[in-house]
Amino acid sequence: MINKTNIFAFLASFIMAFSLHGCKYFELDKKEKAVARVFDNYLFINELQEAISDQASEDDSIEIARTYIDTWVRKQLMLHQAENALSSEQKDFEKKLEEYRSSLIIYSYRQKLIQQKLDTSVSNQDIIDYYEDNIDNFMLNDEIVKAIFVKIPLDAPKISNVRTWTKSGNIESIDKLEKYCVNYAEKFDMFNNSWIYFSSLMNQVPLTIDQPQRFLRYNKNIETTDSAFHYFIKILDHKTEGDITPMSLMRNDIKSILLNKRKIEFYKELDNQIYNNGVNRNSFEIY
């Protein structure tokens, strides 16, 4: 390993030989401290040393130095080009930086207060009330189903029984199917008897259905295979595009909506409170 304090000794020959795309070596009074120059800007040895670990080998250190110098040179050349191409007005970022700083400080302050004071609990009744008050806004854009999904290897035993149990879908058949799948299935899922998007279900099956709305109207059972598995699907219930979305499927979305409304109201109250405090304390004047 090599110490960073001695890095210039073994980099000297590398620096001398390393062509910086036409840049000449530096004036006598600066070349002992600088390792690169772009116009009037210099990269000094101490900055280069900071980029190289004490644990780096000599070869690694040279490669790191080469990359660092090349990157620095390219950046300085681009900056010089941009400086010359842009007008003074275009390069005046002070106002933008101040606006960004102000926005960031206000945002951080609001987030701190929200974490401290905002009630983030949303009751089931809140969700129900919002759903019922806005039910016309919850129209389905896609088909949803309640279903049983079975995926079993081609060489699994009693495939015909699986087909019969899946098509039946009654409690006794589902019980037999579940016990069978514990031993033989790659996957068995009833999705907690919850609504799922039909497209998500079909993504698990090597089968494309072009008109899902029409298909679901006339088909309750799906069976297909690929080179390794049998796939069985039982559609227990379905809703199509244009139907009302079940509340269970919208629960998380409604919770997010209610919390966001709460945040907006919190911001308004905070702004008004701070403004009124400013008025009462004569903190500002409007001329």
Identify the three-state secondary structure at position 30: coil
Task: Please say whether the beta carbons of 145 and 196 come within 8 A.
Answer: yes
CA distances from 271 to 257, 260, 262, 280 (A): 21, 17, 14, 14
Identify the three-state secondary structure at position 188: strand
- Contacts of residue 239, defined as CB under 8 A and 6 or more positions apart, other chains included, come to 140, 143, 144, 145, 195, 245, 246
Q: What is the pLDDT of residue 5?
A: 46
pLDDT, tens digit, for every residue of 36-45? 899 988 998 8
pLDDT (mean) for 73-84: 91
Q: What is the pLDDT of residue 205?
A: 95
| Residue found by looking up tokens 């709460």 in the block | 262
pLDDT, tens digit, for every residue of 261-278? 999 999 999 999 999 999
Say how many residues make up the chain: 287
* 91 compared with 222, residue with greater pLDDT: 222
Q: What is the pLDDT of residue 89?
A: 80
Q: How far apart are CA 132 and CA 144, in angstroms?
A: 20
**pLDDT level of residue 180 (50, 70, 90 thresholds):** very high
For residue 231, give the nearest of 240, 222, 243, 241 by alpha carbon.
Answer: 222
pLDDT at 100 over 80: yes
Q: How far apart are CA 250 and CA 256, in angstroms?
A: 10
pLDDT, tens digit, for every residue of 228-287? 999 999 999 999 988 999 999 999 999 999 999 999 999 999 999 999 999 999 888 887
For residue 8, give the nearest of 40, 24, 31 by alpha carbon.
Answer: 31
Q: What is the pLDDT of residue 11?
A: 57
10 Å Cβ neighbour count for 246?
17
Structural domains in the chain? Answer: 4-85 (no CATH), 135-239 (3.10.50)
- Contacts of residue 89, defined as CB under 8 A and 6 or more positions apart, other chains included, come to none
Q: What is the pLDDT of residue 186?
A: 95
Q: What is the pLDDT of residue 94?
A: 82
pLDDT, tens digit, for every residue of 122-170? 999 999 999 999 999 999 999 999 999 999 999 999 999 999 999 998 9
User: 50-64, 90-104, 221-235: which has the highest mean pLDDT?
Assistant: 221-235
Question: Can you read off the two tokens belonging to residue 38?
Answer: 């772009």
pLDDT (mean) for 167-190: 94
For residue 80, give the nearest of 94, 91, 70, 89 by alpha carbon.
Answer: 91
Q: What is the pLDDT of residue 156?
A: 95
pLDDT at 178 over 80: yes
* 43 compared with 53, residue with greater pLDDT: 43
Q: How far apart are CA 191 and CA 230, in angstroms?
A: 19
pLDDT at 2 over 50: no
